[in-house]
Chains A and B, each alone.
Chain A
Amino acid sequence: MSDEYYLELSENPVQFENASSVNNVFFDEANKQVFAVRSGGATGVVVKGPDDKNSLAFRMDDKGEVKCIKFSLGNKILAVQRSTKSVDFINFIPDPPQSEFSQECKTKNASILGFCWTTWNEIVFVTDQGIEFYQILPEKRSLKLLKSQSINVNWYMYCPETAVLLLSTTVQGNVIQPFAFKSATMSKMSKFEIELPSVPKQAKLSLSERDIAVATIYNQLFVMYLKHHSRTTNSPGAEVVLYHLPREGTCKKTHVLKLNTTGKFALNVVDNLVVVHHQSSQTSLIFDIKLKELEGNVNVHQPVLPALSINPYKVPLTGPAAAPSQAPVPCELYSSSWSVFQPDIIISASEGFLWYLQVKLQPTLNLLQDKGKLMDFLLRRRDCKMVILSVCSQMLVGGDKGNLTVVATVFDKLNQVYKEYLDAEQAYSTAMESGPSRSSTCKRPVRTQAVIDQSDMYTHVLSSFSEKKGVKHKFIIAVLMEYIRSLNQFQIPVQHYLYELVIKTLVQHNLFYMLHQFLQYHVLSDSKPLRLATANDEIVEVLLSKQQVLGALRFIRSVGGHDNVSARKFLDAARQTNDSMLFYTIFRFFEQRNMKLRGNPAFNQGEHCEEHVTYFKQVFGENAMMKQVTT
């Protein structure tokens, strides 16, 4: 059963003390740290990060209820907000923790909504009347105002990855003003409006921060808006509308994800997929914005896969009631106590767990029937290599066998990605050769798992497939040729072992005329003839093992290799046939070859043919030996 769930919670969640009346829990998306603040910090603050390096515990004075608490990058300075007027700071460098210092917001009568760290020592205060950008001077225990901007703010949202801050402005709240931060500078980006499902009758805040999320998908920053179902429009369900927010230029509505249902939703982004959780049905949907839909507007997307629940998850019992022997209990998925954070974090504050959401690719094999679409989907995933290779294996054998057209489509998709990588690699090395001045602008291309090269295909798919029993050799050859065709189409030089595989298969089935035709049209040619020689050896071996000694000799002669072959190998095979005329013929052939090579029909010592020479004399007599012509 568990094979079909394509979403799962990380196996080792971050555990923390669950939220209670004495323990407040905070989450910082920038450092991915959970803060458990007991009694305002007086009885301890426990910070848990994604790994132990980011975890620490300390005490601070209880100076009132904590509203917000976050470390700057690298845990250097801790900021704590306890009132709407000021933020308090504690230096954690050089030694933690030192006594606090405080900063009031500059704007009169403004109340602080919150703050975000943009670097290790720069911070933005967001107030209802604007933003204030400060630099902290820890040794002086003071802050310096870098810049401020006055604007009415309903709520704000910050994307730590890109250091972009979104402010909800205007009465309805649907005009978004983004700001971008970069070491001591702050720049205003062009504002944009989010289309509401219907025009509200009275002027009131109509866009809630709960319906907005911001995340980077395929290296682009998107604002995701959960547009609820509206009775006035004809849309059959809620949608997620994606606004692309470029560094420069205007923000545009670019994608619409159709949810086809209504209710309460939450968003995550995992491996560049948008995951939409639906609470009432306890299922999730995934969308890939790069997957082109066949019909309609290209920017309207349907879920890639059928809606399914997250893989059921069991947690060990904790607390005084728990005995070590007790079995873990199922965890309530889609619980109302869950909080979802970007990009891929799910927190259950009441149970004290932080999970990362993960996509499992293996189940998609059976859920997505269209192999071409499946390949498009898989090639964009992070850990896709083994899954792609198993798709390839699967489509070649068994009941799920695809036809050659499907096989060709899949090969072309793989080789397209492969070729792009090879080109990038080529461009990089050319740039490196042309001198260091230019190479600094050119980064070495990253080889992602989606780059499936010839050796991957050979090792994991083609070599075992070609030896599979019960597969028609016609199909094997057709598949191999299809792969070679695809490589050629993308102008990728074909590796010798693929040719060898074709040759081996042809020879095993006695399809010499086909082999000959392929050679004739240089389909099975190699840039390095030496490598083809190994394939030739293999042909010879196969022929000899089938006692087709003359055939082997003819073959090796046709490829011009007869001067270098082992005479002993042929004579051994000829002896085994018990056909003395055949032995005679082969023997004579090599005598003539020796004559041609060395001017003497005798075999060299190193050829180890003495036994055969003796046999020849026995059967045909000494006089039958070829004589050296003395000049």
Chain B
Amino acid sequence: MPESMIKEGILATDHTNADDQEEKKILFYHPIEIETNEKIRNVGLCEAIVQFTRTFCPSKPAKSLHTQKNRQFFHEPEESYWMVMVVRNPMVEKPNKDGKPPTVEYQEEEIIDSVYGSVLQQCYSMYKLFNGTFNRAFEAGGVELLIQKLEKFFYRYLQTLHLQSCDLLDVFGGISFFPLDKMTYLKIQSFVNRVEESMSLVKYTAFLYNDQLIWSGLEQEDMRILYKYLTTSLFPRHTEPELAGRDSPLRPEVAGNLFLTGPVNLKDPDAKFRFPRIIVNTEESYEELHLIVYKAMSAAVCFMVNATVDLSREFCEQLDGLVGPQLTLLASDICEQYNINRRSSGPEKEPQFKFIYFNHMNLAEKSTIHMRKTASVSLTSVHPDLMKILGDINCDFARIDEDEEIIVKAMTDYWVVGKKSDQRELYVILNQKNANLIEVNEEVKRLCATQFNNIFFLD
């Protein structure tokens, strides 16, 4: 059970300045059943650790605490607000002779700090996307409102966290871009600009195809978390019924266009025109927006409209009428171009290698290790041990600013290569038993030349 990995999730603040009332510092505590005194004790411990480590480095307090059974992660997303996540170390039970109870061995080194540290940060970003900052809620409705919001959000969100399948990709939090020729890309630009012009309520637009991003009018950081939401939550919810078969009771659509958020059926007289609200640009303008996600074939477009405007049936019908036909045409254009490009690149052989690429500048990520992302699991095609090596190399890279390259021979005859140059990181797993170091190096060079001269990697 993946849930079992999270032992505790705590959100606390010293914002209230109520030193005498320790309990009031706790805004959210999972699991809820824990006794108040224990909660207070644990929060007190965390506070102590953070305060203590702060004396060594005021600007960078502790991020994690390793213990035998658990690992604790600390994150201060806003001043005086602390998020703590306690993750259980995996255990192995070793059977003992003589009928003695088995000894439990904790694998203290299995969990990678950067992965779960990122997961904690992602929790905050996701909360902020839909609820805004903690402080805003606190200012608007006091601690009561904040607690209410936190409970509402995290109760559901924690259930969707699948900590066991978290890996390097969670560290990157990247965006997969759809490879596209210039002309089709320009057509999409033109489409977006024209829709934004004729539907002046639309403030930002994002365009995705095949769950990969093509265009974002939102800023990078906002797009990063919205992309995460779309690809791991919203899209899977809508594609899975399709996979399940035709009898699916959910959203009966016949390969047509539809709103993935908001009304299921525009023609339904009782349809509600309510859309999820998201909050972006929290550092500057703090904008609240309706999130309209519209899909035609494999193309999905997010239209973001100022939330102070109430969206009506007329607006949705107008949008549907304007966007529907154009988007369908565009989607089939993209599909055609994509197929042409794929064909011209020749028949795809099962490659001898798998890789993960990430560019810190544009957050572009590409992985041939991960098969498919769904709401429930992220499937990888390689052994967890190899994933662990990737995580470790990444930690090494994070420590130093210089460009470097690490080549590891794994226990299982695999070679693992990590390359970092400027803002880019590349991890390759090669399955060449008898290759030597020089050959592996050559192979990776060849791979860079063939795989990364394509459209993504300008740099």
Contact status B423-A481, CB under 8 Å: no
Binding site for A on B (CB under 8 A): 177, 180, 182-183, 185-187, 189-190, 193-194, 196-198, 215-217, 219-220, 223, 361-362, 364, 422-423, 455-456, 458-459
Contact status B193-A521, CB under 8 Å: no
Contacts of B216 in A (CB 8 A): 513, 517
Contact status A516-B361, CB under 8 Å: yes
Interface residues of A in 442-499 (CB under 8 A from B): 474-475, 477-478, 481-482, 484-485, 488-489
Contact status A488-B183, CB under 8 Å: yes
> A403–B194 Cα gap in the complex (Å)?
8
The number of inter-chain residue pairs (CB within 8 angstroms) is 70
Q: Is the C-beta of A185 less than 8 angstroms from some C-beta in chain B?
A: no
Contact status A516-B362, CB under 8 Å: yes
> A332–B364 Cα gap in the complex (Å)?
75
Q: For A521, give the chain B residue with the smallest CB separation.
A: B185
Q: Given A404-B194, A405-B194, A475-B197, do A521 and B180 touch, yes or no (CB 8 Å)?
A: yes
> A522–B181 Cα gap in the complex (Å)?
9
Checking A403, A521, A525, A558 against B361 with a beta-carbon cut-off of 8 angstroms, the contacting residue is A558
Q: Which 6 residue pairs are nearest across A and B when measured between Cβ atoms? A: A478-B193, A485-B186, A521-B185, A513-B220, A404-B194, A481-B189
Contacts of B194 in A (CB 8 A): 403-405, 408, 478
> A517–B217 Cα gap in the complex (Å)?
10
Q: For B180, give the chain A residue with the smallest CB separation.
A: A521
Known A481-B193, A525-B458; further 6 A-B contacts with Cβ < 8 A: A404-B193, A482-B190, A489-B183, A521-B185, A522-B455, A560-B459
> A478–B217 Cα gap in the complex (Å)?
12
Contact status B186-A517, CB under 8 Å: no
9 A-B residue pairings within 8 Å (CB atoms): A404-B197, A517-B215, A517-B362, A519-B458, A520-B364, A521-B182, A523-B186, A525-B458, A558-B361
Contact status A513-B186, CB under 8 Å: no
Q: Given A513-B220, A516-B361, A558-B459, do A523 and B185 touch, yes or no (CB 8 Å)?
A: yes
Nearest-Cβ distance from residue B151 to partner chain A, whole angstroms: 34
Nearest-Cβ distance from residue A235 to partner chain B, whole angstroms: 40
Interface residues on A, range: 20 to 34
Nearest-Cβ distance from residue B409 to partner chain A, whole angstroms: 31
Contact status A557-B422, CB under 8 Å: yes
Contact status A520-B193, CB under 8 Å: no
Contact status A481-B186, CB under 8 Å: yes
> A485–B185 Cα gap in the complex (Å)?
9
Nearest-Cβ distance from residue B49 to partner chain A, whole angstroms: 29
> A85–B215 Cα gap in the complex (Å)?
84
> A514–B219 Cα gap in the complex (Å)?
8
Interface residues of A in 18-37 (CB under 8 A from B): none
> A520–B175 Cα gap in the complex (Å)?
13
The contact string, 1 if C-beta is below 8 Å from chain B, for chain A 292-336, is 000000000000000000000000000000000000000000000
The contact string, 1 if C-beta is below 8 Å from chain B, for chain A 522-535, is 11010000000000
Contact status B455-A478, CB under 8 Å: no
Contacts of A560 in B (CB 8 A): 459
Nearest-Cβ distance from residue B244 to partner chain A, whole angstroms: 35
Contact status A513-B219, CB under 8 Å: yes
Contacts of B190 in A (CB 8 A): 404, 408, 481-482, 485
Nearest-Cβ distance from residue A186 to partner chain B, whole angstroms: 55
Nearest-Cβ distance from residue A489 to partner chain B, whole angstroms: 7
Q: Given A482-B193, A558-B459, do A520 and B362 touch, yes or no (CB 8 Å)?
A: yes
> A558–B458 Cα gap in the complex (Å)?
10
Contacts of B183 in A (CB 8 A): 485, 488-489
Q: Given A520-B458, A558-B361, do A478 and B197 touch, yes or no (CB 8 Å)?
A: yes
Checking A403, A477, A484, A557 against B186 with a beta-carbon cut-off of 8 angstroms, the contacting residue is A484
Contacts of B220 in A (CB 8 A): 513, 516
Q: For B187, give the chain A residue with the smallest CB separation.
A: A485
> A522–B456 Cα gap in the complex (Å)?
9
Nearest-Cβ distance from residue B270 to partner chain A, whole angstroms: 35
